[in-house]
Amino acid sequence: MKISGSYTLPLPPERTYQMMQDPEVLARAIPGCEGLEKTGEGEYRMKMQMALASLSGAFEGRVRITDQTPSLSFRLVVEGAGRIGFVKGEGLLKLRAADGGTEVSYEGEAQVGGTIAAVGQRLIDGTAKMMIKKFFEKFAEAAS
Amino acid sequence: MATTMTQTETFVGKRVRRREDPRLITGTATYVEDIQMPGMHYAVIVRSPHAAARIRSIKTKQAEAAPGVVAVYTGKDTERVGPVPCGASLPGLRVPHHHVLATDRVYFVGHPVAVVVATDRYLARDAADLVEVDYDVLPAVADPEKALAKGAPAVHPEWPDNTAFTFHQEGGDVDKAFAEADLVVKQRMTSQRLIPMALETRGVVAEWRGADRQLNLYTSTQIPHLVRTLVAQMLSLEENRMRVVTPEVGGGFGSKLNVYAEEALMGFVAMKINKPVKWIESRRENFLCTIHGRGHVDYYEVAAKRDGTILGIKLKIIQDLGAYHQLLTPAIPTLSVLMMPGLYKTKNVRADIVGVFTNCMPTDAYRGAGRPEATHGIERMVDLLADELKMDPAEIRLKNFVGKDEFPYATATGLMYDSGDYAAPLKKALEIVGYQKLRQEQIEARKQGKWMGIGISTYGEICAIGPSPATPAGGWESATVKIEPSGKVTVMTGACPHGQGEETTFAQITADELGVGLDDVLVIRGDTAIVQYGIGTFGSRATAIGGTALYFALQDLKAKIKKFGAMLLESEDVTFSAGQVTCNRTGKSKSLQEIAGASYRALKLPPETEPGLLATRFWEPPNFTFPFGAHIVVSDIDGETGQIKIRRYVAVDDCGNMINPLLVDGQVHGGVAQGLGQALWEQVVYDDNGQLVTGELMDYAVPRAHMMPWIENDHTTTPSPVNPLGVKGVGEAGTIGCSPAVVNSVVDALSPLGVRHIDMPLTPEKIWKLIAGGN
């Protein structure tokens, strides 16, 4: 499944970039996140709750941030597994100053497996879009 | 004690209602899930969420410590359990070792990795989540054509070309036929993967009686005796120490013509914990890891003369096998090859099969098993040919049918068609549907911009499977008939019918032969401790082979009854009819009840005759039987939505003599439901990573009652010479005849748009796009 889109945040690119590397901010912004713990440079262990249609469950996984070009772009790699299946995703986030804020555009690919793939396939697209939207909204909240 | 009624009323050929139905429709039948035992434990299986991965480690400590858990087993524990068996053999067949639990690698989503056993099924389910499996995920391939491409991930690393076997069969002179042809029509078509979807999922209860060294296995299967032989082998248990009981089976359709890992696994668990254990497959598991059906990509070429005479057929089948061979997986496409000429006379055929491994659940027999694919292929091709030649599809069929005076007919694929009159059901169906009038109506409808189509399918099939050389486990069937001292009759059939209604039809046959009432006959099946060895019910064989074994056992008994009657009447000149042995000279008679009593009391015995009335027969058929028929579908398509409405469904089936026409119609109805499922709605979808995305009933469109059209059933009757009952079999006919009739009608409707072929399922989206694009 391909994921792409953009969202404009009311913050300058430098600040946005900085906050996007801050585990505390991320933990507050990621929907369902129950803990984000730094395990190394650009590496985090994450616990989150996810719900998809009739399924819900805990996920545990790793988040890695690579290919960092401060204030401009970075790559996000997420891997998580739980009893309802697994999620793998990778995406490039680009930051660009726009209208006094920052336009964050993202492009990547996600793969799901296990029960969530078998049962929730038709809803994954919508759920992913909704979660991304929520993330940016909460992020904006955290920033203000 | 009720007396055994002797009577002159006969039952064969009558629409007798099923005697098994009251318990089924009142919810009082016993299925595996209904079996309870003191100390019952419950198993839940941990399955791979990945289609291909190496297992780095499995941690079971946390699960073992969970409340109620008594044991957790992984592939290491079950290494000495024998492999899940493949019964099919083909030259050069590659057979991967199929462990009951994965050892170092998983090959498809749903692959069993561990089993958690607890005192309560919910505790077992919760604990299953605590088993930690560390996977090193590998690339997977789910599409058979992609699996054949260079550089595709290898499903089994030892065979990087993903090819399990190739198979070639040829008859006549194909090259000459194609060289002499006026035209050749070609088409690629698919017969998609399907889920057999029995209402009752699989389930196993295993009980180990250590003190008796006895394993009792209750399992929902079509083949209890074969399960006993094969599972005993897997568990290194003496076969006579194992009993397989098959209670009520809530649908099989081929999916329970198998030996599954879970059957041996539950035996293993019961023997380990020394307690009964139950595993009931969830619906989601049923989607993932009960065999799937079909999975063909077919490349057809048909050579013909301008007058419509078919000269030759070439076929290349790419069969999606899945990751392993289940019991008959690689044999299924070979049945398609046997059936590829259909009802047509051509003697020149060439077929090639490539059996391909994919990271998916194995395919295997599903209602029709190989014949629906072949029939769909040839019936689509004949329509394509008719279209090319501007011939009527009925006319081209009538032109190419094997003639009714040509039987027995040797086909190009090595079969001997037993009997037939192929034009008869087609002509009857054309008449019932009012073909000429409909064609007129179609011309008018097209003028008004309406999409109306008429589709014909004339199918043949291979039934009564089969003579032993053609059936891996043996192609015979067994029956025992006991007349008890009271005169009541007990029939034990090795065929293990499971919904086909033999408790009724076998009682009809028995009642007529012995001259007793239906209620005097009890039909027992499905318990290896009670019933003599049998093969099972599949391939439309129960009545044609099991019924014939019963018929011969009844003849043996009738001879013995006559001897006892003659002794009691002190006359050699006696007749047995209507449940009475009568002296032809004096008119005196003895009833079956009196004779039965005397045979067991044994105060006096006829010369060289043993006491009692019991006969067992194992009957080996000399050939398959070949039923046939014609299905016609009239469809109307809504151009705005792409929705297909089936206005008429006419099914004229010839299955030889009918023991019970009511049950024959029921079989056709059920078969058509599954044929419509494939034609219009159902398809298994795996994504590129081997994830099953049609994993539940919200995503997999199995037909519901309200989606069914009215089916107009009729019949012609051409008895089979293969067995004395003259029966052929009808369990799969509806499915086989259905899908090409539906697709032919829809292609016919859309032919003004230049549509030549549409692959199944004919979803509204697909149809709407064709219409919208055409406009």
- What is chain B's Cα-based Rg? 28
Residue B110 makes CB contacts below 8 A (sequence gap 6+) with B47, B48, B285, B288, B289, B361, B692
Nearest to B691 among A81, A113, A122 (CB): A113
Domain B296-466+623-774 belongs to what topology?
Answer: Aldehyde Oxidoreductase; domain 4 (3.30.365)
Distances (CA, A) of B706 to A5, B709, B710: 42, 8, 10
For residue B153, give the 3-state DSSP assignment.
coil
Chain B residue set in contact with A, beta carbons under 8 Å: 49-51, 109, 129, 284, 287-288, 687, 689, 691-696, 698-699
Q: Look up the CATH architecture of domain B476-619.
A: 2-Layer Sandwich (3.30)
Q: What is the mean pLDDT of residues A108-130?
A: 85
Count CA atoms closer than 13 A to B764's CA, side-chain side: 11
The CATH number that applies at residue A105 is 3.30.530.20
Task: Identify the H or E element spanning B73.
Answer: strand B69-74
Could you tell me whether strands B242-245 and B214-219 are parallel, antiparallel, or unpaired per DSSP bridges? parallel
> What are the φ/ψ torsions at residue B169 (nearest 5 degrees)?
-140, 140
Q: How far is A22 from chain B (nearest CA, A)?
A: 29
| pLDDT value at residue A1 | 84
For residue B110, give the 3-state DSSP assignment.
coil
CA dist B490 and B507 (Å) reads 9
Residue A98 makes CB contacts below 8 A (sequence gap 6+) with A8
CB contact under 8 A, A85 and B287: no
CB contact under 8 A, A119 and B284: yes
> What is the full DSSP assignment across B172-241?
S-HHHHHHS-SEEEEEEEEE--B----SS--EEEEEEEGGGTEEEEEE--S-HHHHHHHHHHHTT--GGG
Q: What is the mean pLDDT of residues A53-79?
A: 90
Q: Where are the beta strands (DSSP E) in B554-664?
A: 574-577, 580-583, 589-591, 613-619, 628-637, 644-654
pLDDT digits (tens, 9 = 90+) for B240-298: 999 999 999 999 999 999 999 999 999 999 999 999 999 999 999 999 999 999 999 99
Burial of A96 (0-12, 13-18, 19+ CB in 10 A): middle
Nearest chain B residue to A119, by CA:
B695
| pLDDT value at residue B576 | 96
- Bond prior to B761 in cis (omega within 30° of 0): yes
Structure tokens of B342? Answer: 């259909």
CA dist B210 and A143 (Å) reads 69
Task: Categorize the per-residue pLDDT at A13 as very low, low, confident or very high, splitting at 50, 70 and 90.
Answer: very high
Ramachandran class of B307: left when φ > 0, alpha when ψ lies in -120 to 50, beta otherwise: alpha
CB contact under 8 A, A113 and B50: yes
Does the structure show a pLDDT above 90 at A50?
Answer: no
Helices (H), B350-389: 371-389
Q: How far is A16 from chain B (nearest CA, A)?
A: 34
pLDDT digits (tens, 9 = 90+) for B15-50: 999 999 999 999 999 999 999 999 999 999 999 999
| pLDDT value at residue B9 | 85
Which of B685, B693, B700 would you mutate first to test chain A, the one with the most A CBs within 10 A? B693
Question: Which residue type does B455 have?
Answer: G
Which of A56, A115, A124 would you mutate first to test chain B, the one with the most B CBs within 10 A? A115
Q: How many domains does chain A have?
A: 1
Q: How far is A99 from chain B (nearest CA, A)?
A: 41
Residue A121 makes CB contacts below 8 A (sequence gap 6+) with B693, B694, B695, B699
Sign of dihedral through CA atoms B413, B418, B423, B428?
negative
Residues of chain B with pLDDT under 50: 1
Fold match, B296-466+623-774 / B476-619 = yes
> What are the φ/ψ torsions at residue B451 (nearest 5 degrees)?
-105, 105
CB contact under 8 A, B696 and A119: yes
Cβ contact B540:B463 at 8 Å: yes
CA dihedral angle for residue B193, residue B198, residue B199, residue B201, rounded to 10 degrees: -100
Cβ neighbour number for residue B343 with a 10 Å cutoff: 26
Spans of all domains in chain B: 39-138+199-251+256-289, 296-466+623-774, 476-619
Nearest Cα residue to B60 out of B129, B136, B107: B129
Q: What is the largest CA-CA distance in chain B?
A: 89
Nearest Cα residue to A35 out of A132, A26, A83, A87: A26
| pLDDT value at residue B692 | 95
Which of B689, B691, B700 would you mutate first to test chain A, the one with the most A CBs within 10 A? B691
Residue corresponding to tokens 């914990």: B273
Residue B678: DSSP 8-state: I
CA dist B240 and B237 (Å) reads 8
Task: Categorize the per-residue pLDDT at A83 as very low, low, confident or very high, splitting at 50, 70 and 90.
Answer: confident
Nearest chain B residue to A81, by CA:
B49
CA dist B676 and B738 (Å) reads 7
> What is the full DSSP assignment across B39-58?
T-EEEEEEE-SSSSEEEEEE
Structure tokens of B638? Answer: 């809504």
pLDDT digits (tens, 9 = 90+) for B640-677: 999 999 999 999 999 999 999 999 999 999 999 999 99
For residue B293, give the 3-state DSSP assignment.
strand
| pLDDT value at residue A53 | 74
Chain A residue set in contact with B, beta carbons under 8 Å: 81, 83, 85-86, 111-115, 117-119, 121-122
CB contact under 8 A, A112 and B691: yes
Complex ipTM > 0.85: no
Nearest to A113 among B49, B284, B694 (CB): B49
Q: How far is A111 from chain B (nearest CA, A)?
A: 8
Does the structure show a pLDDT above 50 at A91?
Answer: yes
**Average pLDDT of chain A?**
89
Q: How far is A61 from chain B (nearest CA, A)?
A: 13
Angle, alpha carbons B383-B389-B392 (nearest 5°): 55
Nearest chain A residue to B125, by CA:
A83
| pLDDT value at residue B1 | 42
Residue A69 makes CB contacts below 8 A (sequence gap 6+) with none
Does the structure show a pLDDT above 80 at A144?
Answer: no
Angle, alpha carbons B410-B464-B319 (nearest 5°): 75
Nearest to B699 among A111, A112, A122 (CB): A122
Is the domain spanning B39-138+199-251+256-289 CATH 3.40.50.2300? The answer is no
> Structural domain of residue A49, as residue ranges?
2-143
CB contact under 8 A, B698 and A86: no
